[in-house]
Amino acid sequence: MSLYFFRISTGRYSGAADQPYEFEDSTAAWTEMTEVCANLLGSISRNLKPNAKWSMELLDENKEPVFRISLVGEALCRADTRANAGGR
């Protein structure tokens, strides 16, 4: 069994967990991480602003990153430009 920590980059739950989680291996830790992200995704995406990034990392027992899942909101064009083009 290995110890892992979760770290969230921004938002209400940002920061690294103080208490480690124990998983059989990195595959089991990844599975848990994706399930946690799936449960949080609706709330995170509703509050994500343009040009903002949210991420969750899985850290090993030395608090070094093992995996990262990121959600990025990108503004590709200005909203007022689209409105002036008739919404096209």
User: For residue 73, how many other CB atoms are within 10 A of its CB?
Assistant: 12
* CA 56/CA 30 separation, integer angstroms: 11
User: For residue 69, how many other CB atoms are within 10 A of its CB?
Assistant: 17
Name residue 28's amino acid: A
CB 34 within 8 A of CB 78: no
The reported pTM is 0.74
Model pLDDT for residues 41-87, shown as the tens digit of each residue: 888 888 888 898 989 999 999 999 999 999 998 888 876 545 555 55
Q: Is the pLDDT of residue 20 over 70?
A: yes
pLDDT of residue 44: 86
Model pLDDT for residues 21-47, shown as the tens digit of each residue: 999 999 999 999 999 999 988 888 888
CB 76 within 8 A of CB 59: no
